[in-house]
Amino acid sequence: MDRATFACSTAFFHDCSPSSQAAPGLPGGHVDFIERVDSFTYSDFFRDYLIPNQPCIFSAKFTEDWGSRRNWVTRDGKPNFEHLLQKFGEAVVPVANCDMKEYNSNPKEQLPFKDYVKYWQEYIRNGYRSSRGCLYLKDWHLSRAFPEQDVYTTPVYFSSDWLNEYWDAVAVDDYRFVYMGPKGSWTPFHADVFRSYSWSANICGRKKWLLYPAGQEEFLKDRHGNLPFDVTAPSLQDRRVYPRYSQSQPPVEIVQEAGEIVFIPSGWHHQVYNLEDTISINHNWVNGCNVAIMWCFLQDELAAVQREINQWKDPMDDWHLQCQLIMKSCTGIDYKEFYNFLKVIAENRISVLEKGLDDEALAKNTSKAAISTLGMLHAVFDLKRTVKVLTSLSANEDFKKLDLTSLSPPPEALLHHLKAAIDTALL
């Protein structure tokens, strides 16, 4: 990132809260299309899309050298079932039934990949009908299960990825997924985990996206405060059930072609349809531009849990701890792990700023390699964003009521180290 762009973006974000980042919408529903790889830089993406939290589409030129685009697709643009079975046939994969509703999502089961492909081929032969319903392979951690496979390379625009940097470090999980599904498969209305960014690349096939800018989902809730399962359902027209629906903006519609990448901004709710037999690669990610939105989301989630079990506050000695446990079971993280998340991100950047990395170290640590590639100014930006959120977390009353003795270093010491590292880097 060049100094002029970084200075401008840092100044912009300094006064930017999650509420002010909630986009009012796009004029006429227009979404920018990025055609050329050679003329679009990381700084362009940072300035024009990450900071203002706006969607865009990258052309198929950005993915044309991926192994999956060469090997997973037949000459006529269809899924190459033979190749996929050869490479992944014995894997067990998560499969959702698009014709069934369980709470506000589709129920899932685990199937051998070879059985899913057999189902898919029969589904096509039967005119896209089956007594089993429309099954959609979703949220498959293929890269984690088959790290040796030449599938794709994360574009530099999405390389400042704190979620996967952290979960790779603790070796527990990741937020890198493969989706495969027949024409007609779909994903119900939702926003992504932790209100993260996401990017989705079509290896083959076409998708239709319905996007609602952050904040618009408030107008789509029913009178009980619940979001719709299907945002296109006729029942949303019933003002007795959805009293504010008439105030909502029409969705931003995108048709994504094969090879193209869609960038979904932080906190934008969306619903997605596969218009053809489609394979896609998806990442969720958080970085310095939207970590404050993640922190606000966690506070909202905890407040919702506290309201639900408020009646047990007095008779329950460890009520605050129980609230944290429930929140973690629902969202995947609690306040103490969020602290550790910030710590890992901060320490990685401090290490790069203070020690640098030689070529051998870069080859062994892809997360630090990404930090090094984006440069010192980006690392400082990340540390400044971390300081802002960590300061808020440390002052949070619910955080202070937890047993923090297990946190190492203590929040105050980490904040001091962060500020000192920033000051040293900017000398």
pLDDT (0 to 100) of residue 25: 53
pLDDT (0 to 100) of residue 17: 38
pLDDT (0 to 100) of residue 359: 57
pLDDT < 50 regions, the chain: 2-24
Q: Tell me, yes or no, whether 361 lies in a domain.
A: yes
Q: Tell me, yes or no, whether 236 lies in a domain.
A: no
pLDDT (0 to 100) of residue 358: 60
Residues 204 and 262 placed together within one structural domain of the fold: yes
Residues 189 and 326 placed together within one structural domain of the fold: no
pLDDT (0 to 100) of residue 199: 98
Number of domains into which the chain is organized: 2
Report the distance separating Cα 347 and Cα 101, nearest Å.
43
* Token pair listed for 26: 């796009």
Q: What is the Cα gyration radius of the chain?
A: 22
Backbone phi, then psi, for 70, in 5-degree steps? -85, -40
Residues 264 and 202 placed together within one structural domain of the fold: yes
Q: Tell me, yes or no, whether 382 lies in a domain.
A: yes
pLDDT (0 to 100) of residue 356: 75
Q: Tell me, yes or no, whether 118 lies in a domain.
A: yes
Q: What is the CATH number of the domain that holds 174?
A: 2.60.120.650
pLDDT (0 to 100) of residue 22: 38
Report the distance separating Cα 54 and Cα 262, nearest Å.
11
Average pLDDT, the chain: 92
**Is the CB of residue 231 less than 8 Å from the CB of residue 210?**
yes
Q: Of 283, 305, 329, at which residue does a domain stop?
A: 283
3-state secondary structure of 50: helix
Q: Tell me, yes or no, whether 209 lies in a domain.
A: yes
pLDDT (0 to 100) of residue 92: 98
Residues 259 and 193 placed together within one structural domain of the fold: yes
pLDDT (0 to 100) of residue 223: 97
Residues 33 and 114 placed together within one structural domain of the fold: yes
Residues 338 and 397 placed together within one structural domain of the fold: yes
Residues 132 and 270 placed together within one structural domain of the fold: yes
Residues 154 and 259 placed together within one structural domain of the fold: yes
Residues 294 and 372 placed together within one structural domain of the fold: yes
CA dihedral (149, 150, 156, 161) in degrees, to 10, reads -10
* Token pair listed for 197: 């960014």
Dihedral sign for Cα atoms in the order 399, 12, 289, 54: positive
- What's the Cα-to-Cα distance from 171 to each of 160, 168, 221, rounded to whole Å? 18, 5, 37
Report the distance separating Cα 412 and Cα 343, nearest Å.
12
3-state secondary structure of 137: strand
Q: Of 283, 309, 326, at which residue does a domain stop?
A: 283
Q: Tell me, yes or no, whether 240 lies in a domain.
A: no
**Is the CB of residue 353 less than 8 Å from the CB of residue 391?**
no
Q: What is the model's pTM? A: 0.92
Residues 190 and 277 placed together within one structural domain of the fold: yes
pLDDT (0 to 100) of residue 23: 42
Q: Tell me, yes or no, whether 244 lies in a domain.
A: no
pLDDT (0 to 100) of residue 373: 87
Report the distance separating Cα 213 and Cα 216, nearest Å.
6
Enclosing domain of residue 417:
290-426
Q: Tell me, yes or no, whether 7 lies in a domain.
A: no
Report the distance separating Cα 345 and Cα 340, nearest Å.
9
Residues 38 and 180 placed together within one structural domain of the fold: yes
Percent of the chain with pLDDT over 70: 91
Residues 175 and 300 placed together within one structural domain of the fold: no
